[in-house]
Structure 1
Amino acid sequence: MKNRVVITGLGVVAPNGVGLTSFSEAIKSGASGITFFPELRDLNFSCQLGAKPSISEEKKREYFSELQLRNFNSSGILYGVIAGMDALKDAKITPANPEEDPLWDLGIIFGSGTSGVEKFREAINKIDAKNVRRLGSTSVAQTMTSGVSAYLGGLIGAGNMVTANSSACATGTEALLMGYEHIANGKAKYMLCGSTSDSGPYLWGGFDAMRVTTYKHNQEPNKVAGPMSSEASGFIPSSGAGAYLLESLTSAQERGATIYAEILGGAVNNGGQRIGGSMTAPNSVAVQKCIKDALQNAGVATDDIDYINGHLTATIKDPDEIKNWSLALNRRGAKFPYINSLKGMIGHCLAASGSIEIVSAILQLHEGFVFPNVNCKRIHPEIDALIASEKIPKQLQRVPLKIVAKASFGFGDVNACAIFKKI
């Protein structure tokens, strides 16, 4: 029999709040972390808006030594380490003593998209200038995909599997499900999972070139239409990290740990870039199958879902996502679950989107609320035809939630869906 798996620690580094308390207050009030970036204007970006966490030099030194910070400029690793260590602390688990054995029962799966973009740029410039010796000893660690899990592994003394995954926007949700399986099958006692994403023009530029980002209201970020809005014109690029500490229910009960939620199960699949799917667009058949498979794996009926934390990006694909949920759950109108999207407040955190949104979903489940959909005054008519307006709240709703769903859909036609339950 498989172990039941629960979440006992959370950590978050978001554009509208660093740390659980700040982040929780921000999402309840609908506070935005989106702002105008003069740098993007000077670089002739169409979208001159973005969002990234605010990390002071003092904050950095709570997690890194002066030696570690020397020649360090990977924002993704910075965000991931803070979120990961905060989740560990929230779960009341102490890192291994440097003079003792590693924590053999604690593993890490912490994903990223493109790691260390600034370090890559520095490397290119120095190599082109024939100054390769000046790159420093940390350039490899800061630019490898597993850099964030490697940093966390050293800080914690993790002795189980320490690895990274990379599945575009589905990375954080996929990491959670990988950790879930590892504990469910008895291969670890604890798994620290999550994802992170770098910030800045070298990462965001590709999306601007694809014209999937918004070009409106560059000087007025508070007016940008959010997900599910009839005026939605593209997403706002952003960055950050989210993390969660997973362990077996038995272990959590023995420790007297705070249990935020139980992970009932989930599913990961790929649309194969067929039947309308492509590198950048989801195959609706695969999306619906992923949701249905997640429910079956979790042993949950379609009518049991109280709330959906959507992937919803404020693009032309929002109506398709809602239609897929409606068909997969066979629910519409007033019978459709509550649904919201965090991207209206913090933009699209790319590889970190799933993990930060999972933290927001778990907080809502644990505390019994649904945060407001920001800048969604007029719902897209195709969405309005499928969902009763009260299920897309514009104000904070206090709602006792029991079972919630979170899905992420990413480049490469990748899909991931996880189901959580309040204990």
Structure 2
Amino acid sequence: MRNRVVITGLGVAAPNAVGVPSFSDAIQAGRSGISFQPELAELKFSCQIGGIPPVTETIKQQYFTELQLRQLTSSGVIYGVIAGLEAWQNAGLSIATDEPDWESGIVFGTGLLGIDKIRESIYKVDAGQVRRLGSTAVVQTMASGVSAYLGGIIGCGNQLTANSSACATGTEALLLAYERIANGYAKRMLAGSCSDHGPYMWGGFDAMRVMPYQFNNSPEKASRPLSATASGFVPGSGAGALVVESLETALERNAPIYAEVLGGHLNSGGQRRGGSMTAPNAFAVKRCIQKAMEEAAIQPSDIDVIDGHLTATIKDSAEVTAWCEALGRRGADFPYINSLKSMVGHCLSAAGSIECVAAVLELHDGFIYPSVNCEDLHPEISAMIAPDRIPQQLIRKNINVIAKANFGFGDVNACVIFKKFQS
């Protein structure tokens, strides 16, 4: 018999807030974290805006020693450690002392970690200064760097790993952790993902011309999921983390329970049937959603809110089409649907975990955050679903079930089903 799995801790470093209390306030207020980035303008980027978490030196000092801060140049590591430790503390969990905690593990993903450190290292090596790379060059750039940092701080003795599936990374990490606990291989897992910020991370996307350039003077209006005037995704960065735990151990220690994970599904479209390296196979997206419902043992009518991937590109209407077909629901019967990217931009490999934190907060605290900047709904979308299904103001409402999905480069898909916890 599989274990029931619950969320007992949350942590976040997002472009519009750092820390769960501030983040909850920000998403309820519809507050943007997107701003003009002078460095991008100096480097002649077309898109000169982005979302960078407001991590102050004071915040850093709460999580790192002075020595660590002198060595750290990887923003992804900083964001990941902050989010991961906040989630662990938020769950009321202690730090292992002499013996590793054999029942606790970590799955913390990323796309590309420590790109600024990689650049610094390349220049030093090319200049014949290899001995000046420092002792942390490897751990700041290896994919499992955040898992390694967190594992050492917390003292985890179970599986310690990293995953990487482009924009689906964070939701995939959560589902990998869920499976480990459901099958009894661990009692709790810290799941999350992170992404670096800056020109070396975002330059390739600017070259692809998938980011907006019309809003450099009005950054907060730039990220426009579901909108007729959407013109590309705004780059973002940060990290999200969730403590995933067996219901039995959560109840034993009287832990806070934010939500239950009913199940989910991971798949790939195989870059077939219209799918490619950068475009999803629509059939695979629909199948992922349907299989997630099947594995969570729910009906389409049970879903109250969809926390979409919805990047503010031409694929938004295709995503809504997939949801309509997968659920068999349209018009006024369609669930509420929103996109956190309207406030924080597309945080790339961190997107799924930050958005999962937002979805769990909606479920636990009884609200639906607004999907801002979509006052001019795309006509293809408004033809499928009733406009009031896309909240443009905060809605206070008890929610029972949320479906959260992310779809990434490489034609990969992830969908998880959260439910309000009931004993």
Cα shift at 1:247: 0.7
Question: Corresponding residue for 2:246?
Answer: 248
Residues in 2 aligned to 1:176 and 1:136: alpha-carbon distance in whole angstroms: 33
Q: Which AA in structure 2 matches 1:28?
A: Q
Structure 1 position 67, deviation (Å): 2.2
2:315 matched to 1:349? no
Q: Tell me the equivalent position of 2:36.
A: 36
Secondary structure of the structure 1 residue equivalent to 2:3:
coil
Describe the SS at the equivalent of 2:168.
helix
Report the residue type matching 2:16 in the other structure: N
Q: Is the 8 A contact 1:35 1:50 kept in 2?
A: yes
Aligned to 2:418: 420
- Map 1:33-72 onto structure 2 (within 5 A): 33-72=33-72
Once the two structures are TM-superposed, the CA of residue 400 in structure 1 deviates from its matched residue by 1.1
Deviations 1:70-121 (A, max 9, x none): 3210000100000000000000001112xx1011100000000100000000
CA contact (8 A) 1:225 1:231 kept: no
SS in 1 for 2:262: strand
* Equivalent in the alignment of 2:75: 75
Measured after TM superposition, the shift of residue 136 of structure 1 is 0.3
Name 1:284's counterpart in structure 2: 282
Amino acid of the residue matched to residue 68 of structure 1? Answer: Q
Where 2:377 maps in the other structure, the secondary structure is: coil
**Where does 1:195-274 land on structure 2 (aligned, <5 Å)?**
195-224=193-222, 226-274=224-272
Which whole-Å CA distance do the structure 1 matches of 2:248 and 2:66 have between them? 39
Instruction: Please give the per-residue CA displacement for 1:203-232, whole angstroms capped at 9, x wherever unaligned.
Output: 000000011111111011133251000000
Query: 1:154 maps to what in 2?
Result: 152
Corresponding residue SS for 2:242: strand
Q: Alpha carbon RMSD of aligned pairs, Å? A: 0.7
| Residue 21 of structure 1, CA deviation | 0.7
SS class of match (2:62)? coil
- In the alignment, is the contact (CA less than 8 A) between 1:226 and 1:374 conserved in 2? yes
Whole-angstrom distance in 2 between the partners of 1:131 and 1:230: 52
Same amino acid, percent of matched pairs? 63
Distance 1:336-1:300 versus aligned 2 partners, 3 A rule: same
Where structure 2 has 5 or more consecutive residues not aligned to the other structure, the ranges are none
**Unmatched runs of 5 consecutive residues or more in structure 1:** none
Query: How far apart, CA to CA, are the structure 1 residues paired with 2:10 and 2:144?
Result: 21
Amino acid across the alignment from 1:180: Y
Name the SS of the counterpart of 2:63 in structure 1: coil
Aligned-residue offset at 1:291 = 0.3
Deviation per CA, 1:288-342, whole angstroms, max 9, x where unpaired?
0000000000001011000000000000000000000000000000110000000
Cα distance in 2 for partners of 1:68, 1:16 equals 25
Q: Does 1:169 align with 2:167?
A: yes
Alignment-derived partner of residue 321 in structure 1: 319
| Equivalent-residue separation in structure 2 for 1:223 and 1:234 (angstroms) | 12
Equivalent position SS for 1:23: helix
Deviations 1:125-147 (A, max 9, x none): 10111111000010000000000
Return the TM-score normalized by structure 1.
0.99
1:375 is aligned to 373
Q: Which residue of 1 aligns with 2:302?
A: 304
**What is the aligned length?**
421
Q: Distance in 2 between matches of 1:189 and 1:414?
A: 28
User: Matches of 2:15 and 2:59 in 1, distance apart?
Assistant: 15
Structure 1: how far apart are the matches of 2:265 and 2:24?
Answer: 27
- 1:55 Cα deviation (Å)? 1.2
Q: Is the 8 A contact 2:115 2:141 kept in 1?
A: yes
Q: Does the aligned pair in 2 maintain the 1:225–1:376 contact within 8 Å?
A: no
SS for the counterpart of 1:61 is: helix
User: What is the SS of the residue equivalent to 2:245?
Assistant: strand
TM-score scaled to structure 2, two decimals?
Answer: 0.99
User: How big is the shift at 1:64?
Assistant: 1.1
Whether the aligned pair in 1 keeps the contact of 2:2 and 2:182 (CA below 8 Å) is yes
Tell me the distance in 1 between the aligned counterparts of 2:308 and 2:133: 41
Q: Secondary structure at the match of 1:203?
A: helix
Amino acid at match of 2:105: G
For residues 143-186 of structure 1, the C-alpha deviation after alignment (integer angstroms, 9 at most, x for no partner) is: 00000000000010001000000000000000000000000011
